[in-house]
Amino acid sequence: MRTVIALTALLCAACTTTAAEVPAGTVIVGGANDDGTGFVDWHTSTVGPPIVMGPQGGQHIWVSVRTGRNFNASKMRLLIDMTDLDTGDVVKPGQIPFTRTLTDSGTELQITGITAYVKEPCKIKGHHVRVHVGVEDLVGLPGSDEAIIIPTWSGFCGT
């Protein structure tokens, strides 16, 4: 009986690993930790990622992307755009194109810490912002996802 219980537990552990895989064709947009590392899921609840001051004086929000392994990880094209849902305005500078190679973890492809630039952080702090990411791999397989965030900004905003 103990052997059956141990074998069942082992099989359930394998089920958990399979369930963690990102399904083929899926794209998931999320954020990153304050230093641009690690994946932060933006779909679990309302999130308030900080608008971060970059080393060259610009501001950005860390964006990360996960995809299923059916995408070609090499030199994937990514387009990131943000819209202020409270005003309807596109968050400047607008759509941001990137070409990146994603890392294959064995269960998914991932890139962490893409700098989605924010030209006017005072205009979007505390607002509902839709972050949309579109991807296309080298063979033309497309995918996209979006999430709603409420960015925070600790910098100065004039009156």
Element (H, E) at 41: strand 40-41
Torsion of the alpha carbons at 97, 127, 149 and 103, rounded to the nearest 10: 20
Domains contained in the chain, CATH given: 22-149 (2.60.40)
What is the arithmetic mean of pLDDT over 140-144? 95
Give tens-digit pLDDT for 69-127: 999 999 999 999 999 999 999 999 999 899 999 999 999 999 999 999 999 999 999 99
pTM of the prediction?
A: 0.83
